[in-house]
């Protein structure tokens, strides 16, 4: 039973445009959400997070939006750059962190 779902295995976006990665969760007890970025043969690195008491958090080109009623969060990257090509994991935290399966983002030149 997947508590954190990333339904798009991959996404291709033109360089300079906006990338939107989506994540859905089922457990309303999750109170903190995180996005990690992972390059091949490396460990994930923390990107941005949001508390359940907020609906938006912004850090440079990265913005995370949280819709608690829909149990949905999204990561917006704008403008998208070639170095953004990676796998992005959504994670939700309650008493422990649960990771989604990841979305592979390809930034096209």
Partner 1 sequence: DGGITQSPKYLFRKEGQNVTLSCEQNLNHDAMYWYRQDPGQGLRLIYYSQIVNDFQKGDIAEGYSVSREKKESFPLTVTSAQKNPTAFYLCASSDLDSQYQPQHFGDGTRLSIL
Task: Verify binding: residue 96, partner 1, rule CB under 8 A.
Answer: yes
Q: Which one, 84 or 89, has the nearer CB to partner 1?
A: 89
Task: Tell me the two tokens of residue 86.
Answer: 């990676």
Task: Verify binding: residue 99, partner 1, rule CB under 8 A.
Answer: yes
Name the DSSP class of 72.
E
Q: Sign of torsion, CA 44 49 55 61?
A: negative
What gap in Å lies between CA 45 and CA 27, rounded to an integer? 24
* Contact region with partner 1 (CB under 8 A), list: 11-19, 35-43, 55-63, 77-85: 35-43
What gap in Å lies between CA 4 and CA 98, rounded to an integer? 7
- Are residues 38 and 81 in contact, defined by beta-carbon separation less than 8 angstroms? no
- Are residues 11 and 105 in contact, defined by beta-carbon separation less than 8 angstroms? yes
Task: Verify binding: residue 34, partner 1, rule CB under 8 A.
Answer: yes
Q: How far is the CB of 103 from partner 1 (least distance, A)?
A: 11
Q: How far is the CB of 49 from partner 1 (least distance, A)?
A: 6
Q: What residues from 61 to 90 belong to the interface with partner 1 (CB under 8 A)? A: 89
For binding to partner 1 (CB under 8 A), which residues are involved? Answer: 4, 6, 9, 32, 34, 36, 41-46, 49, 51, 89, 93, 96-97, 99-102
């Amino acid at each position: 039973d997947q508590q954190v779902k990333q339904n798009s295995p991959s996404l291709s976006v033109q360089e300079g445009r906006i990338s939107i990665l989506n994540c859905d969760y089922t457990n309303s007890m999750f109170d903190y959400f995180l996005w990690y970025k992972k390059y091949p043969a490396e460990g994930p690195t923390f990107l941005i997070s949001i508390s359940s008491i907020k609906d938006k958090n912004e850090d440079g080109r990265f913005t995370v939006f949280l819709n608690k009623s829909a149990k949905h969060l999204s990561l917006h990257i704008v403008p998208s750059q070639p170095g953004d090509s990676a796998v992005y994991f959504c994670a939700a935290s309650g008493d422990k962190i649960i990771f989604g399966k990841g979305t592979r983002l390809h930034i096209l030149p």
